[in-house]
């Protein structure tokens, strides 16, 4: 009988062969629990099975998204990979953090995940920072709303209006997160089921720029 890592390696190998010449990449966590961190062993299995790249999230499965990502643990995997790139993932929610990771840790690339769900402009900001260019500011709320609507239209094109509208409930909440009136918007957008309802809720309830309070001279 094959061990679990050997079984994993065989599965990855079969997927690689089935998808050839399209590259197959893998993403793992550090391990199942903090007491059983085996990312180095699994990384070697992934590489030996023919994967083109490996992404490692700096938490264990037990952690879920609690605590902070362990980038030292991610970086420690690099010396054990012979040829495939190591991509780090976890807690990258700003351009500054992306730059800092490349400065401090031995990784070939980074993956931005949850932080981009309602902030797709984060990629442009990170790319500018890595080039040494000025980091573009966040879009205005009106621009963010327009971006969200474009996102919605693309999701509907891909999945159809009914499924696309249901999927967009989550993403629309991400766009509003942290803004004044976000809870009110979430309450309404969580109930939409048609294009007309979604666009009407966005028009009426998506957070807007707050007026500047007058100051006394």
Q: Which DSSP string do the residues of 117-138 spell out, in sequence order? A: SS-TTHHHHHHHHHHTPPPPPP
pLDDT digits (tens, 9 = 90+) for 118-130: 999 999 999 999 9
pTM: 0.87
Q: Which among 141, 204, 139, 202 has a CA at the least distance from the CA of 173?
A: 202
Residue 213 banded pLDDT, cuts 50, 70, 90: low
Strand duo 25-29 + 53-57: pairing: parallel
**Residues 132-142: what's their mean pLDDT?**
96
Cα four-point dihedral sign 152, 156, 159, 161:
positive
pLDDT digits (tens, 9 = 90+) for 178-205: 999 999 999 999 999 999 999 999 999 9
């Amino acid at each position: 009988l094959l061990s679990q890592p050997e079984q994993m390696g065989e599965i990855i190998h079969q997927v690689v062969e089935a998808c050839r010449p399209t590259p197959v990449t893998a993403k793992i966590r550090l391990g199942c629990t903090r007491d059983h961190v085996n990312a180095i062993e699994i990384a070697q299995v992934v590489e030996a099975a023919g994967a083109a790249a490996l992404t490692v999230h700096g938490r264990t499965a037990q952690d879920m998204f609690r605590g902070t990502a362990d980038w030292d643990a991610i970086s420690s995997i690099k010396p054990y990979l012979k040829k495939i790139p190591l991509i780090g993932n976890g807690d990258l929610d700003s351009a500054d953090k992306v730059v800092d990771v490349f400065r401090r840790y031995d990784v070939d690339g980074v993956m931005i995940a949850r932080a981009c769900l309602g902030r797709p402009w984060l990629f442009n900001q990170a790319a500018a920072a890595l080039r040494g260019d000025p980091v573009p500011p966040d879009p205005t709320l009106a621009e963010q709303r327009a971006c969200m609507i474009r996102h919605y239209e693309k999701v509907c094109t891909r999945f159809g209006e009914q499924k696309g509208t249901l999927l967009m409930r989550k993403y629309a909440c991400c766009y509003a997160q942290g803004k004044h009136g976000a809870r009110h918007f979430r309450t309404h957008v969580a109930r939409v089921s048609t294009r007309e309802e979604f666009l009407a809720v966005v028009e009426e309830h998506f957070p807007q720029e707050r007026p500047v309070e007058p100051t006394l001279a």
